[in-house]
Amino acid sequence: MAKFKLDEVDHQILDMLIENTRTPFTDIAKKLLISAGTVHVRVKKMEEAGIIEGSSLTLDYTKLGYAFIAYVGIYLQNTSQTKFVLERIAEIPYVTVAHITTGKFNIFCKVRAKDTNHAKEIIFKLDDIDGVYRTETMISLEESINDKKRLMHSIFQDM
């Protein structure tokens, strides 16, 4: 598959959609001085090329009562158990991200919880999965950087 070429208008469209995926195409068109049809066609092409995959909603978990974040590194007894363990992790809804990793841990997870007691329950569930040798937990004190736009702008500069 050929590399999809993005121009400055595509960059600006993506920039606005990353800021707010619900921005109407008509608003984007007005800001960029192009037609809403042009925005629609360009977004459609980026979707077809796989550059845009769906859209997402950002939740304020603190307001929902889930402000506690922990990162859990999981050591496996055998790497052959990775798929099985990931399937069990996927059954725990408070584990929001899981990566297979190299280095110290076999799997690295992000956990959202109500408080330390709730986090402890989740971590114990992870520990109890067959194949998990042990876990190591780090508590997030604050999410200081979560900026998709900075990465996107760096990618655009590299193109």
CB-based burial label for 135 (10 Å; 0-12, 13-18, 19+):
middle
What is the CATH classification number for the domain harbouring 27? 1.10.10.10
Residue 2: pLDDT band (50, 70, 90) is low
**Does residue 37 lie in a domain region?**
yes
pTM higher than the cut 0.85: no
What CATH number does residue 105 fall under?
A: 3.30.70.920
Residue 16: pLDDT band (50, 70, 90) is: very high
**Structure confidence by residue, pLDDT tens digits, 51-79:** 999 888 888 999 999 999 999 999 999 99
pLDDT beyond 60 at 140: yes
Give me the torsion for CA of 9, 13, 14, 20, rounded to 10°: 160
Q: How many helices (H) and strands (E) does the chain have?
A: 6, 4
Query: Per-residue pLDDT averaged across 89-95, rounded?
Result: 98
For 41, the domain range is 8-57
Q: Looking at 57, 72, 97, which one is the last position of a domain?
A: 57
Q: Is 91 helix (H, G, I), strand (E, B) or coil?
A: coil
Segment 23-35 shows an average pLDDT of 95
What are the Cα distances from residue 31, in Å, to 41, 42, 115, 117, 157?
A: 17, 15, 43, 48, 22
Q: Does a structural domain hold residue 147?
A: no
